[in-house]
């Protein structure tokens, strides 16, 4: 037997003493965390708080010292196949050394991947990143692409992505831009996906009327009543182009999507869950000026339930890298000689 007294009775406040005692093959007489039973095999310790008084605890220890069968019952969990599966799952990560777990965690944070805190392993993001181009050429995944036209009085749909027959379809590349005929509008654009990022490059846009062209993005995120964070790119103060761009972020308890534009424009989040509107061509614009190119970037990443679910926006390392890359593509890779 060994006596273990923790300095706190708070839940989950458990020091290494309990593990060292179990590994040494003794029976711990434990006084500490109230939920210690959730962290050790059943009938492996004497929980003084459950036994009651100090006298009762001492009597139990004496009884076990004189009763081999009772004493051995506290070691049944050591036999093959008896160790509780839930504990094996909870502490299975200990089979991987801390340095490797740290590297995996850093990789997940750098690439916006999910992280399972229980098993301490990388998991796929809650929102799939697989790119899917629908039969009519619009994006069906990772978000549903629609185009709207707007006047001073109303807003009307022009075209929406239809069914996606080939998930993972190779996106249109820069050598073959796609031309969309959207009612009175003609848009020439390219879509490229990489590392959880979708870049849409609009190289040409023309209008034959006085309507506003709006890109609508629908994402399976439950941002109640259109809750969002605006102009998050301004947190990267090193960029010279911060004031010339626009951005918006929506998130729920598991996912976050960031939308960036390389020009100042109206971006709104209607009171529909996961919907973003981006003004592409204003009602007074007939076409893009000269060689102007309008770029839009979408970032899809997991939200850390411990760190990110709050009323304040906390930029992840993944978002920081790809927002900075969008603001200053060369600055991110610049090395001072």
Instruction: Output the pLDDT for position 284.
Output: 59
CATH code, residues 2-95? 3.40.50.11660
| Helical axes 317-327 vs 98-110, angle rounded to 10° | 40
pLDDT in tens, 92-104: 787 788 889 999 9
Instruction: Output the pLDDT for position 150.
Output: 87
Instruction: Output the pLDDT for position 332.
Output: 43
Q: Where are the domains of the chain?
A: 2-95, 132-331
Instruction: Output the pLDDT for position 336.
Output: 44
Per-residue three-class SS string for the chain: CEEEECCCCCCCCCCCHHHHHHHHCCCEEEECCCCHHHCCCCCCCEEHHHHCCHHHHHHHHHHHHCCHHHHHHCCHHHCCCCCCHHHHHHCHHHHCCHHHHHHHHHHHHHCCCEEECCCCEEECCCCCCCCEECCCCCEEECCEEEEEEECCCCEEEEEECCCCCCCCCCCCCCCCCEEEEECCEEEEEEEEEECCEEEEEEEEEEECCCCEEEEEEECCCCCHHHCCEECHHHHCCCCCCHHHCEEEEEECCCEEEEEEECCCCCEECCCCCCEEEEEEECCCCCECCCCCCEEEEEEEEECCCCCCCCCCCCCCHHHHHHHHHHHCCCHHHCCCC
Instruction: Output the pLDDT for position 176.
Output: 65
| DSSP β-bridge partners for residue 212 | 150
Low-confidence spans in the chain with pLDDT less than 70:
80-83, 165-176, 225, 237-243, 283-291, 305-312, 330-337
The values of phi and psi at residue 78, to 5°, are: -75, -15
**What is the rounded distance in angstroms from the CA atom of residue 267 to the CA atom of residue 247?**
7
The values of phi and psi at residue 249, to 5°, are: -130, 135
Spatial contact of 267 and 248, defined as CB atoms under 8 Å apart: yes
pTM for the model stands at 0.73
Task: Read off the tokens for 275.
Answer: 């919907």
**What is the rounded distance in angstroms from the CA atom of residue 222 to the CA atom of residue 275?**
10
**What is the rounded distance in angstroms from the CA atom of residue 64 to the CA atom of residue 49?**
18
Q: In 10 A of CB 231, how many CB atoms?
A: 14
């Amino acid at each position: 037997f060994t006596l273990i007294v923790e300095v706190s009775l708070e839940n989950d406040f458990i020091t290494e003493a309990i593990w060292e005692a179990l590994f040494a093959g003794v029976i711990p007489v434990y006084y500490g965390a109230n939920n210690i039973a959730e962290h050790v095999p059943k009938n492996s310790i004497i929980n003084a708080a459950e036994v009651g008084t100090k006298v009762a605890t001492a009597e139990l220890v004496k009884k076990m010292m004189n009763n081999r069968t009772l004493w051995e019952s506290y070691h049944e969990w050591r036999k093959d196949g008896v160790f509780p599966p839930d504990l094996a799952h909870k502490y299975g990560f200990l089979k991987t050394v801390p340095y490797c777990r740290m590297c995996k965690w850093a990789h997940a944070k750098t690439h916006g991947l999910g992280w399972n805190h229980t098993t301490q392993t990388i998991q796929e993001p809650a929102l799939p990143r697989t790119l899917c181009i629908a039969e009519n050429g619009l994006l069906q995944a990772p978000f549903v692409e629609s185009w709207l036209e707007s006047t001073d009085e109303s807003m009307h749909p022009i075209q929406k992505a239809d069914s996606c027959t080939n998930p993972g379809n190779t996106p249109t590349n820069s050598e073959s831009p796609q031309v969309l005929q959207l009612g009175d509008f003609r848009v020439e654009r390219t879509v490229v996906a990489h590392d959880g990022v979708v870049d849409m490059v609009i190289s040409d846009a023309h209008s034959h009327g006085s309507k506003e062209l709006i890109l609508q993005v629908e994402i399976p995120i439950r941002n109640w009543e259109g809750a969002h964070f605006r102009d998050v790119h301004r947190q990267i103060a090193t960029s010279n182009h911060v004031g010339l761009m626009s951005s918006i972020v929506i998130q729920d308890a598991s996912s976050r999507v960031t939308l960036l534009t390389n020009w100042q424009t109206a971006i709104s989040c209607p009171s529909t869950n996961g919907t973003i509107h981006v003004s592409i061509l204003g009602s007074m614009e007939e076409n893009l000026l000269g060689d102007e190119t309008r770029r839009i970037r979408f970032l899809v990443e997991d939200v850390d339930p411990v760190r990110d679910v709050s009323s304040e926006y906390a930029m992840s390392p993944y978002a920081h890298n790809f927002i900075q890359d969008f603001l200053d593509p060369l600055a991110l890779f610049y090395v001072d000689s």
